[in-house]
Amino acid sequence: MIKLFWYFLKGYVTIEIKGATKERFFNMASYKNIFFWDIKHIKNSIQAKISIQDFRKLKEISKKTNCKYKILYKEGLPFLIFRYRKRKILFLGIPFFLFTLYFLTSFVWAIDIVGYNDISYHVLINALDENGLSFGTFKHTINKLEIEEQMLNTFENMSFININLYGTRATVTISENIKQVDIIDRDTPTNLVSSHAAIIHSLNVRYGDAIVTPGDVVFSGDLLVSALVIPDDTNPDFFNYVHATAEIYGYVYYNLDFLVSNKDIEKEFTGRIRSIYTINIINRYVNLPNAMQNFQNYDTIISRTILNFGENYPLPFVLIVKTQKEYIEHIIQRDRQTMEQLAYRKINETILNFFDFDVDIVRKNINLEEISEGLSVSVSLTTLQNIAIEQNVVFYENIDDEVIN
């Protein structure tokens, strides 16, 4: 294969040999160290490939063997150069193209960051930019070790960073510290107050003095467990402030009202498609002209194609194609069954998005009422959940301040 590539560079010809002693022609040629390849028998003649240097030695053999030969095809680089010798711009353009390609591949055109979790992508990109690695940085001026050190100094929760440059792509691999578990401060006195208006179901108090009992009605912000603990009621001067800790479960009521419309819009695609081409050259957008009229209603599909040489050599040219598909709107009437299905789906989605996993839904009343606009849905939910939230105890300097406040 390498030998054949070498012959392509040096140039070769396909010849046709005719005569009674064609085999003798080949024997004599091979005796003189002439190399033939792709020798094919076609009708009464033989076609073979031979290099330009060896071709010049065939004259003598032809005379001795009384075989005639002629050139069928000339192939290889010397013949290509000869054919295009008058196209001077082409010869100037090839080195210019190669130089431009080399020049463009000397910059970083893509930055990939791997391994980030708590630190956001944009913060990392900005920090890399400040430290000397950004989109369009000259590759040979990047000091990887220095950037890595500066990044580690910038982010305290970053334990490892590695910058790899493959082609025009910079891959930044980072590793963040394992998050420390928050230490509960047991020394700060805190009360527990209610987060919702609720009816108390049960209490599990570990620290503090419970103010409420099961069955009590509380409102949002009401004190549930006090930080002030007086062990002996007969001796009120002996007291202590603690960090109140408790799980207080209560029934909380929620209402959800919404309307499911009885009208739906159905799209009928006309088949007419309009494509808008935009070229992004080094962060500048160039819109190519489009002669087609704007559609009234359309869906847009955007596709981005990055021009690259292999995976590691992306170039700063991006072709953005916005394909607009025209459609006509038809208003259709929904039946009761479809509206109910939509209502139940919305209720389930709301419950999943709104409530945490530790919240139990103990009762769910759904009231559906058909009105002229559609289906009016009213949902009342009763949940059993922990309603206790911490609130720091405020100490006043003297009794007068407390009265004023």
Partner 1 sequence: MKEKNKEKNLKKNIAAMFELPKDIMLNLPYVSIIGNEEILLQNHKGLIEYSKNVVRIKTTIGIFTANGEDLYISKMTNEYINILGKIKNCGY
Closest contact distance (angstroms) between CB of 79 and partner 1 is 22
Which residue of 6, 37, 258, 277 would you call a contact of partner 1, by CB under 8 A? 37
Query: Does the footprint of partner 1 cover residue 66 (CB under 8 A)?
Result: no
Which residue of 8, 36, 116, 254 would you call a contact of partner 1, by CB under 8 A? 36
Query: Does the footprint of partner 1 cover residue 72 (CB under 8 A)?
Result: no
Which residue of 38, 60, 129, 146 would you call a contact of partner 1, by CB under 8 A? 38
- Residue closer to partner 1 by CB (options 40, 186) is 40
Cross-sheet strand order for the sheet of 110-114: 110-114, 169-176, 158-166
Which range, of 32-40, 62-70, 128-136, 261-269, touches partner 1 by CB under 8 A?
32-40
Neighbours of 354 (CB within 10 A): 11
Query: Does the footprint of partner 1 cover residue 39 (CB under 8 A)?
Result: yes
Angle between helices 58-65 and 22-31 (to 10 degrees): 140
Which residue of 1, 33, 185, 237 would you call a contact of partner 1, by CB under 8 A? 33
- Residue closer to partner 1 by CB (options 10, 85) is 10
Q: CA angle, corner 207, sides to 202 and 208, nearest 5?
A: 85
The sign of the CA dihedral 96, 102, 107, 111 is: positive
Query: Does the footprint of partner 1 cover residue 41 (CB under 8 A)?
Result: yes
- Residue closer to partner 1 by CB (options 13, 111) is 13
Which range, of 24-32, 58-66, 182-190, 307-315, touches partner 1 by CB under 8 A?
24-32
Query: Does the footprint of partner 1 cover residue 30 (CB under 8 A)?
Result: yes
How many residues touch partner 1 (CB under 8 A)?
A: 15
Interacting positions 46-65 with partner 1 (CB under 8 A): 46
**What does 196-239 look like in DSSP terms, one character per residue?**
S-EEEEEEEEEESEE---TT-EE-TT-EEEESEE-S-TT-TT--
Q: Return d(Cα 134, Cα 130) in angstroms, integer.
A: 8
Q: Return d(Cα 155, Cα 159) in angstroms, integer.
A: 9
Which residue of 26, 55, 69, 298 would you call a contact of partner 1, by CB under 8 A? 26
Q: Which residue has the tokens 């759904």?
A: 366
Query: Does the footprint of partner 1 cover residue 27 (CB under 8 A)?
Result: yes
Which range, of 20-28, 71-79, 184-192, 306-314, touches partner 1 by CB under 8 A?
20-28
Interacting positions 95-154 with partner 1 (CB under 8 A): none
Using alpha carbons, select from 14, 74, 75, 76 the residue that is nearest to residue 45.
14
Residue 286 in tokens: 């160039």
Query: Does the footprint of partner 1 cover residue 299 (CB under 8 A)?
Result: no
Which range, of 34-42, 63-71, 198-206, 229-237, touches partner 1 by CB under 8 A?
34-42
Half-sphere exposure of 296 (CA within 13 A, CB side): 6
Closest contact distance (angstroms) between CB of 46 and partner 1 is 7
- Residue closer to partner 1 by CB (options 38, 299) is 38
Q: Is 107 exposed, middle or buried (0-12, 13-18, 19+ CB in 10 A)?
A: middle
Helix, coil or strand: residue 19: coil
Residue 210 in tokens: 């419970």
**Distance between the two ends of the chain, CA-based, in angstroms?**
94
Residue 171 in tokens: 């891959």
Neighbours of 125 (CB within 10 A): 16
Query: Does the footprint of partner 1 cover residue 35 (CB under 8 A)?
Result: yes
Query: Does the footprint of partner 1 cover residue 92 (CB under 8 A)?
Result: no
Closest contact distance (angstroms) between CB of 119 and partner 1 is 59
Binding interface with partner 1 (CB under 8 A): 22-23, 26-27, 30-31, 33, 35-41, 46
